[in-house]
Amino acid sequence: MTTTTLLWLRQDLRLTDNTALELARKSDQLLPVYIHDPKLNGRWPPGAASDWWLHHSLASLDEDLRKSGSRLILGVGPTEEVLKELIRSGNVNRVCWNRRYEPDLVDADRQLKKMLAASGLEVKTCNSNLLFEPWDIQRDTKTESPAPYRVFTAYWRACNKRGLHDAVHHRPDRLPGIPRGVPSRKLESLGLMPETRRDTGLRNHWQPGEKGAQIRLDKFLKESVEDYTNGRNQPGITGTSGISPHLHFGEIGPRQIIHAIKPWTERATGSASESTETYIREIGWREFAHHLLFHYPQSDQHPLNRRFRNFSWRKDYGDDLIAWQQGNTGIPLVDAGMRELWQTGWMHNRVRMIVASFLAKNLMIPWQQGARWFWDTLVDADLASNTLGWQWVAGCGADAAPYFRIFNPVLQGEKFDPEGTYVRRWIPELKALPNRYIHKPWTAPQSLQAGIAPYPPPIVDLKASRERALAAYRQL
Ligand SMILES: Cc1cc2nc3c(=O)[nH]c(=O)nc-3n(C[C@H](O)[C@H](O)[C@H](O)COP(=O)(O)OP(=O)(O)OC[C@H]3O[C@@H](n4cnc5c(N)ncnc54)[C@H](O)[C@@H]3O)c2cc1C
């Protein structure tokens, strides 16, 4: 009997080290499928920046599949219906996919698997997107049943004890052909592309797809990994890998990163050794984020720390939220970050922490509002990492920053962007200001301030708003 396997691709848009593909390709015919189902992601439909990325990533995957003798079949509509139709038209007898772990998807996957198996199909699901599945690593409580970790260092120690997987499947040269007569939609009909201006901005910064991911990783390893501990804090330079959107869409997997960095880890000494360890630990934070979201499925909306449920957020914040989104708060480092986000779909991690702290603490706007904006504008928008990041900064998450830690954007700027390179790049109005005023233009002499118009004065006083936040947090 001819075996025909349907490979359902989602956030695993690659051919190298793709566990489900490894299983699926051991058949006579292979049907690689992507289904655009706007309802699939429940309360978190992808934002505009994610859609842009997805469009280009699917085009790149199709190109790669064609080089291997296959091609990508696109379906549009409710997942279950589209799958059934493809299974029928392709005479499919086996279905494989890589698991996703977002709360809305876990249940949907379970039901789908049951339904397909009940109709006589062989169904295989795998892990390709994490080093450890969220239930793999649990606290070994001798007296109670296992419990999820809430502290990163303990979680990461347990992961390392297990050993980080670094064996990878190579990219297959040839793939089985696809069955005849299976219909496919055109990529353009998915309606993922934004207006042209945003497209150009994003296109200048990114190359979605497996090849783009590999180029980024290689460049980072060659140029920056050995100084990562230091470089990752400076938003004015390229000190980080910029691999996050590629990881989110599964154009590269974490095992591949651990595998690729191994030679650097083995030969590094001193600070270079510390740097490679730090980088691998950041991949660990991504794992931890998935662990938390899986075990606390409401945490995308509600604070993990229950005491925060009645926190007195401001209610009349409409104008301040818009100023923050548009990068017009009058605080240069915050505005530079928000403008970088809008123009490139990405923001440096240190600046993410600073703009988030400014929103949740100085402006006392609910962190969920910031998380929503990030969700819509980041090309790496990821429910697990975004939730972890926002809850960490707001102080209400697992292993979170203590409530009294309120980033001072002026001091942070003077420490990590002393020459104002980053601020000048994103706020051209401030280009001519001397370094000593670049992070606090409101303190410059009147004659200089006149020259930077229309850059606005600060929308809040940093000291007074810090005191207001501390008072509110103390009430908890
Ligand atoms: C408020 C806030 C929101 C965030 N939202 C997201 C998000 O939606 N998607 C996202 O991928 N990251 C998010 N992060 C985490 C982090 O900022 C980004 O992963 C990082 O900036 C991506 O750049 P990079 O690839 O150059 O990182 P690198 O420094 O090169 O790190 C390598 C990889 O490690 C992982 N990583 C690094 N830091 C973290 C972290 N703190 N938490 C989880 N994983 C991490 C990422 O996958 C990253 O690509 C958020 C952080 C904060 C403070």
Q: Respond yes or no: is residue 53 known to be catalytic.
A: no
Is 197 part of any domain? no
Q: Respond yes or no: is residue 135 known to be catalytic.
A: no
- Tokens 């936040």 correspond to 469
Short-list 349, 352, 336, 469, CA closest to 405: 469
Instruction: Kindly state whether residues 330 and 375 are assigned to the same domain.
Output: yes
Active-site hit among 91, 93, 233, 349: 349
Short-list 411, 388, 383, 447, CA closest to 46: 383
Instruction: Kindly state whether residues 141 and 283 are assigned to the same domain.
Output: yes
pLDDT at 196: 67
Domain count, the chain: 3
Q: Is the CB of 390 under 6 A from ligand 1?
A: yes
Alpha carbon of 389 to ligand 1 centroid (Å) = 8
Is 181 part of any domain? no
CATH of the domain at 241: 1.25.40.80
Is 356 part of any domain? yes
- Tokens 């009058």 correspond to 330
Instruction: Kindly state whether residues 87 and 11 are assigned to the same domain.
Output: yes
Active-site hit among 91, 93, 133, 313: 313
Instruction: Kindly state whether residues 325 and 463 are assigned to the same domain.
Output: yes
Instruction: Kindly state whether residues 42 and 70 are assigned to the same domain.
Output: yes
Q: Is the CB of 241 under 6 A from ligand 1?
A: yes
Tell me which residue has its CA closest to atom 19 in ligand 1: 244
Q: Respond yes or no: is residue 346 known to be catalytic.
A: no
Chain Cα centroid distance, residue 103 = 16
CA 76 vs CA 52, 63, 163: distances in Å: 17, 20, 40
Atom of ligand 1 nearest to the CA of 288: 43
> How far is residue 339's CA from residue 331's CA, in Å, rounded to a whole number?
12
Alpha carbon of 371 to ligand 1 centroid (Å) = 13
Residue by residue, DSSP assigns 306-369 as GGGGG----S--HHHHHHHHHT-SS-HHHHHHHHHHHHHS---HHHHHHHHHIIIIIS---HHH
Atom of ligand 1 nearest to the CA of 242: 26
- Three-state DSSP at 174 gives coil
Q: Is the CB of 206 under 6 A from ligand 1?
A: no
Task: Calculate ∠ Cα 192-197-201, nearest 5°.
Answer: 90
Is 218 part of any domain? yes
Instruction: Kindly state whether residues 266 and 317 are assigned to the same domain.
Output: no
Is 102 part of any domain? yes
Spans of the chain, pLDDT less than 70: 143-144, 195-196
Instruction: Kindly state whether residues 323 and 464 are assigned to the same domain.
Output: yes
Is 205 part of any domain? no
The number of residues making up the chain comes to 476
Q: Respond yes or no: is residue 390 known to be catalytic.
A: yes
Q: Is the CB of 380 under 6 A from ligand 1?
A: yes
Alpha carbon of 188 to ligand 1 centroid (Å) = 30
Q: Respond yes or no: is residue 305 known to be catalytic.
A: no
CA 472 vs CA 162, 354, 355, 464, 469: distances in Å: 42, 19, 19, 13, 5
Structural domain of 142: 130-168+210-295
Quote the DSSP letter at residue 6. E
Q: Is the CB of 192 under 6 A from ligand 1?
A: no
> How far is residue 366's CA from residue 388's CA, in Å, rounded to a whole number?
15
Alpha carbon of 305 to ligand 1 centroid (Å) = 22
Tell me which residue has its CA closest to atom 47 in ligand 1: 244
pTM of the model: 0.97
Active-site hit among 63, 93, 277, 285: 285
Neighbours of 403 (CB within 10 A): 18
CATH of the domain at 387: 1.10.579.10
Instruction: Kindly state whether residues 223 and 358 are assigned to the same domain.
Output: no
> How far is residue 264's CA from residue 200's CA, in Å, rounded to a whole number?
35
CB 201 within 8 A of CB 251: no
CB 73 within 8 A of CB 187: no
Q: Is the CB of 356 under 6 A from ligand 1?
A: yes
Alpha carbon of 349 to ligand 1 centroid (Å) = 6
Question: Percent helix, strand, coil in the chain (nearest 5)?
Answer: 55, 5, 40
Is 199 part of any domain? no
> How far is residue 376's CA from residue 69's CA, in Å, rounded to a whole number?
36
Q: What is the pLDDT of residues 4-17, one digit of tens each?
A: 999 999 999 999 99
Instruction: Kindly state whether residues 57 and 24 are assigned to the same domain.
Output: yes
Active-site hit among 282, 414, 429, 435: 282
Task: Calculate ∠ Cα 426-432-434, nearest 5°.
Answer: 105
Gyration radius from the chain CA atoms: 24
Tell me which residue has its CA closest to atom 23 in ligand 1: 242
List the 73-76 sheet strands across, edge first: 73-76, 29-36, 4-9, 94-98, 122-126
Long-range contacts of 278-284 (CB under 8 A, 24+ apart): 278/228, 278/229, 278/232, 279/225, 279/228, 279/241, 280/164, 281/156, 283/131, 283/254, 283/257, 283/258, 284/152, 284/155, 284/156, 284/159
- If one residue of 155, 205, 244 were mutated to test the ligand 1 pocket, choosing by the most ligand atoms within 8 A of its CB, it would be 244
CB 49 within 8 A of CB 378: yes
Q: What residue ranges in 77-144 does DSSP mark as E strands?
A: 94-98, 122-126
Q: Respond yes or no: is residue 97 known to be catalytic.
A: no
Q: Is the CB of 349 under 6 A from ligand 1?
A: yes
pLDDT at 143: 62
CB 32 within 8 A of CB 72: yes
Tokens standing for residue 351: 């600046």
Tell me which residue has its CA closest to atom 22 in ligand 1: 244
CATH of the domain at 117: 3.40.50.620
Is 462 part of any domain? yes
Tell me which residue has its CA closest to atom 31 in ligand 1: 282
Short-list 316, 303, 298, 307, CA closest to 364: 316
